[in-house]
Structure 1
Amino acid sequence: MTLNSIPAHKVETAVAASDILGETPLWCDRSRKLWWVDIDGRLHQSFDPATGEHQVRPYDCQFLGSQALTADGAHLLARDLSLHHRSADGYLSRQVCEVESGLDNHLNDGRVDARGRLWIGTMDNQLHRPNGSLYRVTGDGEVTPVFSDVIVTNGIAFSPDNRTLYFTDTRRYCTWQFDFDLDDGAIRNRRLFADYRSTQERPDGACVDNIGGLWTAFFSHGRVVRYRPDGRIDTVIPLPVTNPTCACFGGDDLKTLFVTTARKFLTPEQLSIEPQAGHVLAVHGIAQGLPEHRFANPG
């Protein structure tokens, strides 16, 4: 199998955001905007490629951990350990649920399945204790624990046929896949998909393309890779930053790969030679994505 490496000049800056920890990019096919968060900066942001407009809204919390699109055209925001409905005008209208309590954790990566359920996990704020868990959340705020013993939840994605769930624990350096039953919302048959324990490389956020490829960002290792469904890597995108965090497909044709990045953990010396650290990067025309599913209307 030939390995496709994307040349550096194909990677461009889409938004000069300078995020501390940019994450969870999602393309909204209704607003035709890219949406993402800065977890540590506690910012919810959007970018309109048609106009170049970049909007930023801050929120009062310790961590703005994740987001999801909602069926009513708004957003679901993960603030610390609870989920909140963000109205179309940008205000938090109400708390949907508290997902977890009593642990030194915060909500991190999540993704909505084709039935409108949010799969979202927590992570240890100290980045080394297995305090985290994966949860399934329905539109009425019902929270179901799925499994625990997680350090840093990441890389949640569903295959195009809705039969496979991918899940990454970044600080265990592994990605797993599960058989997924869309009807009953159950996962079974956990097996290892990608194992980096020997090198301690950090798979982070991920998305799938329309033919089932899994695109994963590698935090602290400056690249995005595409896995075939059989686990083999067929594409590598070297990036001009050390810390890519997550990726999604966007644009009206869903053929632009947007990649969020982080300035966090970089030294002043590294920042001086990585002017694009914290920006949203883009690569055009390498694959085509799928529309994001939307969380069932809160309430």
Structure 2
Amino acid sequence: MTSTPLHQPECILDLRATLGEGPVWIAGEKSLYFVDILEAKIHRFTPSSRDHQTWSAPDRVAFLLPVADGTFLAGMPDGLRRFDPRTGGFSDHTIVEAEKPCNRLNDGCVDPQGHVWFGTMDDGEENPSGSIYRIVHDANGLNITHHDEGYTVSNGPAISPCGKVLYVCDSPEQTIYAFDIKEDGDLANERIFARLDHGYPDGIVTDSEGTVWCGTWGGGRVARFKPDGTELPPIPMPVTNVTKVAFGGDDLKTVFVTTARKGLDAETLEKEPQAGSLFAFRTDVPGVPQQVFRLNG
């Protein structure tokens, strides 16, 4: 795709996932991993060879985040597991929010220090029962700390390139929040970073200049915001439900985009037959290399 015009999306994997989400670029494999949450599937796509591999998970997987040992931390409905693509197996079940059986894990990211941030949500998308958590791996295993609450559908989260700002969406509120990350990992100075007036903010990531890239559920575009919250021209997509982007390729200037078919009626699906597929386009500013979850760090 190096010779294609900037910001011109094309379908690179006609998958038609029910709820495609959570793309992460693994540079060592030159491959993109992502999930279909509702179908409990994990996908790996290698653009250079167009090789596509799929694994079935024991339950819905909301996110996959790479771990330093070559496995992935998988966000499942009731907690965290380790997924090993070399065997296809899942292990190390850690329960999260056992007291909230109607919640599930939703989205996550890894910060520059190798720590994981993730959110939970009401599975029925009605009650503000979701929270934001941070994970550090130490000698005792996963150390999970609670940092914020009151989210109906938490999304993102994303970290600024400097590692000092956390962005989190509450999707039904059409709002992206920002927090300062303190030296001890706690959050401070909560503020509204941006509000969407078209569609709902879904997954978010930052590029190397600190621009926030936001998938828009029901918005048919990738929204972009400068670090000060100023909205940049969006990038139109050929499908309605745009869930999240990831920067990849050798120069981190290829933007991969996951999408979804969930909630689209028959008339819309007829107009958008590739809804739920994987798209990509080129951009002029590189992303940030994908961080890995550090063990005993």
TM-score, structure 1 length as denominator?
0.92
In structure 1, C-alpha distance between the alignment counterparts of 2:209 and 2:149, rounded to whole Å = 30
In structure 2, C-alpha distance between the alignment counterparts of 1:10 and 1:113, rounded to whole Å = 29
Q: Is the 8 A contact 2:6 2:281 kept in 1?
A: no
Q: What amino acid is aligned across from residue 269 of structure 1 in structure 2?
A: E
- The answer to whether structure 1 residue 193 and structure 2 residue 193 are counterparts is yes
SS of equivalent to 2:172: helix
Q: Percent identity?
A: 37
What CA deviation, in whole Å up to 9, does each residue of 1:86-135 have, x standing for no partner?
12414334225212213201100101112221111111111111111111
What CA deviation, in whole Å up to 9, does each residue of 1:145-172 have, x standing for no partner?
1111110111211111111111101012
Counterpart for residue 213 of structure 2: 215
SS of equivalent to 2:287: coil
What CA deviation, in whole Å up to 9, does each residue of 1:51-99 have, x standing for no partner?
10011101121x2111101111221111212111112414334225212
What CA deviation, in whole Å up to 9, does each residue of 1:171-214 have, x standing for no partner?
12110111113x42121100001124xx4731111111111100
Q: What amino acid is aligned across from residue 209 of structure 2 in structure 1?
A: I
Higher mean alpha-carbon deviation, 164-173 vs 79-88, is at 79-88
In structure 2, C-alpha distance between the alignment counterparts of 1:9 and 1:231, rounded to whole Å = 21
Corresponding residue to 1:80 among 69, 73, 77 = 77
What CA deviation, in whole Å up to 9, does each residue of 1:222-243 have, x standing for no partner?
0102111111112311111000
RMSD value, Cα: 1.9
What CA deviation, in whole Å up to 9, does each residue of 1:225-272 have, x standing for no partner?
211111111231111100000111011111011110000000111111
What CA deviation, in whole Å up to 9, does each residue of 1:21-77 have, x standing for no partner?
00010001111100101110111111001110011101121x211110111122111
Q: Is the 8 A contact 2:17 2:36 kept in 1?
A: yes
Deviation at 1:287, TM superposition (A): 2.5
Counterpart for residue 98 of structure 1: 95
- The answer to whether structure 1 residue 148 and structure 2 residue 149 are counterparts is yes
Give 1:65-76 correspondences, 5 Å limit: 65-76=62-73
- The answer to whether structure 1 residue 260 and structure 2 residue 261 are counterparts is no
Deviation at 1:17, TM superposition (A): 1.4
Q: Is the 8 A contact 1:22 1:39 kept in 2?
A: yes
Q: Is the 8 A contact 1:68 1:112 kept in 2?
A: yes
Give 1:1-299 correspondences, 5 Å limit: 10-61=8-59, 63-103=60-100, 104-139=102-137, 140-181=141-182, 183-196=183-196, 199=197, 201-297=199-295
Q: Is the 8 A contact 1:214 1:226 kept in 2?
A: yes
In structure 2, C-alpha distance between the alignment counterparts of 1:35 and 1:253, rounded to whole Å = 18
Q: Is the 8 A contact 2:6 2:282 kept in 1?
A: no
Q: What amino acid is aligned across from residue 13 of structure 1 in structure 2?
A: C
| Number of residues of Structure 1 aligned to a counterpart in Structure 2 | 290
User: Where does the alignment leave 5 or more consecutive residues of structure 2 unmatched?
Assistant: none
User: Where does the alignment leave 5 or more consecutive residues of structure 1 unmatched?
Assistant: 1-6
In structure 2, C-alpha distance between the alignment counterparts of 1:180 and 1:75, rounded to whole Å = 24
